Structures are given as C-alpha cells and as structure tokens.
Amino acid sequence: MPIFKSSTLSICIAALLLTACGSGGGGGSADAGAAPSTSSTPAATPVVVTQTSSEAAEVKTEDLVAPEDFDFATQQTYSLTVTAPKAATSQQVRVYHNYVPAPAGSDSAYLADFQSLLASTRLTGDSLTLDLALSVTTQSLLVELWDATGAAPSQAIITLRDDTRTLEWSFN
C-alpha cells in the first residue's frame, strides 16, 4: 500500500477539516495495515495542510482511507445476562429498546413499545444470557421478567455504555 496516493492525500486533508483531524482522525499510511481491528485509533498519521472550504466540499467517499479492518458497523453486539430467583411458574424474559413511562397508578413503571421487541425467551435455571445486536444509537433497554400468572412484570432499565459490551441485571 502506498504511503499516500495523491487522491488520498487531498481527501485526508479535507477530511481533517471536516473532522478536526488533529485529534486523531486518520489518513492512509503504510502503517494503517498493521492496525488491529480492535484499535480505536487509526494507525494513519494525521497530516494538517491548509485547504479552502471549496476544496473541502469536493471530498469524495472513495478518497477516504479507512483503517484496514474497519467494519463500518453501525450496530454493536452486547451480551446481556439476566439473573432471577427460581419461581414456581415458568418465567419469561423480554427485552425492548424503546419504552415510555407508564401513567400514574399503573402496576408497572414503564410501558414497552412492543414493536421494539428484541427477544422473548423463557428463563431456564437462574440466569439467561442473550446476545443482542443493537444499533449504535440505542441508549438503553427495558428488560422485563414475567411469570405465567399474568402479574405485572418486574422491570429494569439498563443503560448502555461505550466501555462495555457485557450487560448484567439481577432481579433478585
């Protein structure tokens, strides 16, 4: 891979303007190929060159230089473990990514948006682990634990964080 192709250079420059490249945004370099896919910092060396805004406006996608193994993913996979005490009746875990507060006087704190259902699974044993692929825009999850009596479910809100893909909740 060349250190800089001419088109790459100009685009890198433009991209720097667009994205405050000095903070770590990248261009292409021979080192980029060595960057591990898990790295959050592109291996490319930023280059700062004065550029006019009109030139910046001509930046094209094809001239961006992506980290070698960048997956372009807009979703992230989380591992959610739900723990609950064993109950006499079978228990059901349901996970939603959208919900609203319930009206005053309700048996539950939240109302689920049923269209945002991610998983509906019986809890066998004490715990259950679900792999959930979530859009990066997902902020939090509503987790419900139901039993077969139709009583109001136990509910939990789990807020997603950037620094972990492992989520846990215990209904104990």
Contact positions with another protein (CB under 8 A) in 44-83: 44, 59-75, 77
82 vs 89: CA distance, rounded Å: 17
What's the sign of the alpha-carbon dihedral 36, 38, 39, 40?
positive
Contacting another protein within 117-136 (CB under 8 A): 117-122, 124, 130-131, 133-136
Out of 18, 34, 87, 157, which residue is the one contacting another protein (CB under 8 A)?
A: 18
Decide if residue 111 touches another protein (CB under 8 A): yes
**Which residue, 118 or 143, has its beta carbon nearer to another protein?**
118
**Which residue, 26 or 143, has its beta carbon nearer to another protein?**
26
Decide if residue 165 touches another protein (CB under 8 A): no
39 vs 127: CA distance, rounded Å: 32
- CB–CB of 24/46 below 8 Å? yes
Out of 30, 34, 39, 126, which residue is the one contacting another protein (CB under 8 A)?
A: 39
Q: DSSP label at 46?
A: P
Give me the residues paired with residue 134 across strands. Answer: 76
